[in-house]
Structure 1
């Protein structure tokens, strides 16, 4: 472990593990404040691999985006011949994946997640960053239950009007233009957030299959449906927002800022309840 890291922090218990490294809780002896430190073993990643590029890209992107209340903050980076250590904001509550498993959200509960999530995405886009892997696993919560967007390993920097390429993302959440191998813009993040909203309100994904291939085929068809048995209590205004986020025609798909201005978002989900009752 880096001498500089041990000088500045005390590394404690393991709190996570990935393909190339481990995440520990750590704290500053000076302030007593706790953090997370992600330690990556560089020997497991070849110099010219995509994974190595993603690793350093994540550091660059997070430095560009933080501080922001809805993006995991990066504090320090330490590197030696063997490891790269990234000291991050500690998010030790459950992630959104754990929270959406086996339950359906009310509209007010769903909007409480969507508001900070879309504010984080809008912040990324305004700084020329597309996350490209928005999914519940990458949406964390801190000890005060504040939402934090995390894991920028697949993120891409772009200039206004500039398109991106490359198939990245996770089957249920990836936008159809990505699956098709087309060039695409930052609105792929809006699509992914729309899938998350659908799952929160319905308890099932909008496009699904028994294998990754079948899921990708369903995403490409982008046949958005609202089964009555699942959506009987979901308001018309919530469905309207879903249609605008999960729109296959990218030119008509909402931007992150447009999502934030939609009536369902600005009313805190309350407009939906009124619409159903009247």
Structure 2
């Protein structure tokens, strides 16, 4: 999948909790890497094991610290342009500001020749996309996994952080079915006002973002969560096309055509997350109260059997 950044290809209100969190945001709370010269040099103390994934600008590799014997993920930008350095500082700033068990932690930043490396906690497991594709998952399990994701995003939003590139491949799920959200390269800290940077991955972009209008980051994140949930339930995207342009056109102009593949109990939540008008789209704290996500195990099993008939 391609990612977009201000038009170039690269793979309305806020809650009281959010407003309270924004007041805390200041120099003492947001450690920022000021210049490239402040980065430690080289990766000599790490042994590279294998490539975990590649993006449009960065490659992520599994490595092991030679003396501490701990595994880490090293995200490498081979060309440290001024824009890349700004993105690195931003990602490090946000990840140091956040502290949540379902969000990957930043450990260090290194430089080497023209490259810059972010040393991250290694999240054991596979991408949520691979997890969903590789097995049959019942509705109760989907509900539990999605509620973890939603709760983590709610934490970010309460802290004033919007991710802006939530997608299946940016969520890691481990063998115990615990999730971690990764790749905060497009994230930003906001006071709930309108944003203008055009970024993200086409399949997950909200209509207002596709139209390149000023947008509320919290609401575009919620749209992306709607796409993620739709895929978890149906193993397809809600908007498909022959190419990126057709997908974006359908999101902006056509809208979702059918919910027939979505189980009845999850339809209400999907509609709230994929509402075309961002004013009608749920906030994360509202979505967490959805009846389906709070169904008991007995109710979930009963619903599943009813749905199968």
1:204 alignment counterpart: 236
Q: Does residue 63 in structure 1 map to residue 96 in structure 2?
A: yes
2:8 alignment counterpart: none
Provide the secondary structure at the position in 2 that maps to 1:238: helix
Q: Distance in 2 between matches of 1:202 and 1:33?
A: 38
Bigger RCO (CA 8 Å, 6+ sep): 2
- Give, in angstroms, the shift of residue 216 of structure 1: 1.0
1:164 alignment counterpart: 195
Provide the secondary structure at the position in 2 that maps to 1:177: helix
- Give, in angstroms, the shift of residue 268 of structure 1: 5.8
- Give, in angstroms, the shift of residue 12 of structure 1: 2.8
- Give, in angstroms, the shift of residue 131 of structure 1: 0.6
The 3 A distance-change label for structure 1 pair 134 and 216 is: same
The C-alpha deviation readout for 1:62-86, integer Å capped at 9, x for no partner, is: 1111x31111111122235533221
Give me the CA root mean square deviation: 2.6
**Match for residue 259 of structure 2 among 226, 239, 243:** 226
Answer yes or no: is the 8 Å Cα contact 2:272–2:280 preserved in 1.
yes
**Match for residue 269 of structure 2 among 238, 241, 247:** 241
1:46 alignment counterpart: 81
The 3 A distance-change label for structure 1 pair 159 and 206 is: same
1:217 alignment counterpart: 249
The C-alpha deviation readout for 1:115-169, integer Å capped at 9, x for no partner, is: 1111121111111111111111111134654211111111122103x11112211
The C-alpha deviation readout for 1:219-272, integer Å capped at 9, x for no partner, is: 113235212xx34xx1x3311111111111211211011111111112267656
Q: Distance in 2 between matches of 1:20 and 1:135?
A: 17
- Give, in angstroms, the shift of residue 98 of structure 1: 1.3
Q: Does residue 37 in structure 1 map to residue 67 in structure 2?
A: no
The 3 A distance-change label for structure 1 pair 23 and 181 is: closer
Structure 1, 78-87 or 196-205: larger mean CA deviation: 78-87
**Match for residue 184 of structure 1 among 189, 195, 215:** 215
The 3 A distance-change label for structure 1 pair 190 and 271 is: farther
The C-alpha deviation readout for 1:149-199, integer Å capped at 9, x for no partner, is: 111111122103x11112211111110110111111111111111111111
Provide the secondary structure at the position in 2 that maps to 1:23: strand
Answer yes or no: is the 8 Å Cα contact 1:139–1:149 preserved in 2.
yes
- Give, in angstroms, the shift of residue 205 of structure 1: 1.2
Provide the secondary structure at the position in 1 that maps to 2:169: helix
The 3 A distance-change label for structure 1 pair 96 and 268 is: farther
1:11 alignment counterpart: 47
The C-alpha deviation readout for 1:4-53, integer Å capped at 9, x for no partner, is: 653xx432312234444443333345543322122322xx2432x3x443
2:187 alignment counterpart: 155
Q: Distance in 2 between matches of 1:258 and 1:266?
A: 12
The 3 A distance-change label for structure 1 pair 37 and 268 is: farther
Answer yes or no: is the 8 Å Cα contact 2:145–2:177 preserved in 1.
no
TM-score normalised to the size of structure 1? 0.85
Structure 1, 252-261 or 16-25: larger mean CA deviation: 16-25
2:123 alignment counterpart: 91
The 3 A distance-change label for structure 1 pair 20 and 207 is: closer
Q: Distance in 2 between matches of 1:103 and 1:141?
A: 13
Q: Does residue 262 in structure 1 map to residue 290 in structure 2?
A: yes
